[in-house]
Amino acid sequence: MVWAITEDHAGELWVGTWTDLYSFDRQAGTFRSYQRPRWSPAAVRSLYGDETGLLWVGTQGAGLYRWDGTRFTSYQPQTSNPHNAAGGFIRSIYTNLALDSGAVWAGTDANGLLRFDRATPGGEFRQYTEKDGLAGNECNVSWLTPTVFCGWPRTGVYPGSIRQRRTFVTTMRGMACTMAKHGLLPEQSRRDVHGCTGGLAAFYPEQIKDNALPPPIAITAFRLLNQPEP
Amino acid sequence: MSLPSDGRVQLSYQQNDLSFEFAALDYHAPGKNQYAYRLEA
C-alpha cells in the first residue's frame, strides 16, 4: 500500500509504502528499494523533499529520517505518550529554510505537533499537544500556506499558523469531521482540502481569521440581598 | 440602588449578599464562549 508520494528538489520521485521506501527511475520505469541495510523497515507515512535537496521521511513508530543522497539519519522524538513510541506515526511534514529557522514540522496521528530543530547539533524535538492549546493531538501540516491543522473527530479541524508561531487554536466553524488526508488539490488552487469520513471539506487557509477582539461582557442582572436592582 | 456605568458600587456592611448575571455578546459560536471572573479583597 502506498502511503506517500513526493518529488524531491532534484525531481526524483519517492514512494513510501507499508514496508519500504522507493525511488522511481523514470527512464527505466522501475522502482529502486531503499530497504535494509540502509533503511530499516518501517511504514513510510509521509515524505517531504526540501529545497536543500534533503528528503524527510516520516514513519510509523520509527520517528523521522533524513536522506541526504548517501545515507539515512534517524531522529527519534521523545513524546509525552509512552504507549505511542517515536511520535506514533507522522502524517505529514513541512519545512522551509525561510521559515522558522528551517525547522521541520511534523503532524502526528496522536502525539500532536512536532517541531524538529535541525540547526541544533544532533537535532532537537519540541512537542506541542492539547496542553499547549491544540484542539486535538491528531495533526496535519499543510505546505500550501503553510498551516497546521489539529483536531479530533468530533471537534473538527482547527488551523493555526507556523509562520507566526502563535497559538495554534482558532475557532473554525462548519468542519465537524475527522481529517483523513489533506492537500488533495494542486497548489494553484490555494485551497486546503480535507478528506473526511463524512466527505470533503475545502477552504482557503489564509482567509481564516482570528477574532482578536474579546466580545463585550454585559452585566444583565444585579441582586442585593436577593432583591433585583435596576 | 442601580448599577452605575463605571461599574463601581459602594455597599454597607449589611449589604453582604449580592449576585450578578452576565453575558458575552458574541453570537458567532455562543457555545464556545468562556468566562473567567475573580474575587479580590
SS3 assignment for A178-222: CEEEECCCCHHHCCEEEEECCEEEEECHHHCCCCCCCCCEEEEEE
DSSP string, A109-161: SSS-EEEEETTSTT-EEEEE-GGGT-S-SEEEEETTTTEEEEEETTTEEEEEE
Quick check: A36 pLDDT over 50?
yes
What confidence tier does A50 reach under pLDDT thresholds 50, 70, 90?
very high
Q: In this predicted model, what pLDDT tens digit does every residue of B1-41 receive, in sequence order?
A: 566 777 788 889 988 898 989 888 877 777 777 888 888 87
Q: Is A86 helix (H, G, I), strand (E, B) or coil?
A: helix
What confidence tier does A41 reach under pLDDT thresholds 50, 70, 90?
low
Rounded Cα–Cα distance for residues A194 and A152 (Å): 13
What is the DSSP code (8-state) at residue B30? G
Q: In this predicted model, what pLDDT tens digit does every residue of A87-122 receive, in sequence order?
A: 578 888 888 888 778 889 888 888 888 889 988 888
User: Chain B partners of A211 at a C-beta cutoff of 8 Å?
Assistant: 26, 28
What's chain A's average pLDDT? 73
Q: Is A213 on the interface with B (CB under 8 A)?
A: no
- Give the H or E element holding residue A94: strand A90-95
Q: Is B36 on the interface with A (CB under 8 A)?
A: no
ipTM of the shown complex: 0.81
Place of cell 444585579: A222
Distance from CA of B14 to the nearest CA of A (A): 9
Mutation site, B18, B27, B37, B38, interface A, largest A CB count within 10 A: B18
Q: Which residue in the set B15, B17, B21 is minimally distant from A220, CB to CB?
A: B21
- Supply the pLDDT for residue A204: 60
Distance from CA of A108 to the nearest CA of B (A): 26
Peptide bond into A146 cis (omega under 30): yes
Tell me which of A27-31, A161-165, A196-200, B23-27 is least confident.
A196-200
Write down the pTM of the prediction. 0.65
Quick check: A55 pLDDT over 90?
yes
Q: Is A119 on the interface with B (CB under 8 A)?
A: no
Q: Is B20 helix (H, G, I), strand (E, B) or coil?
A: strand
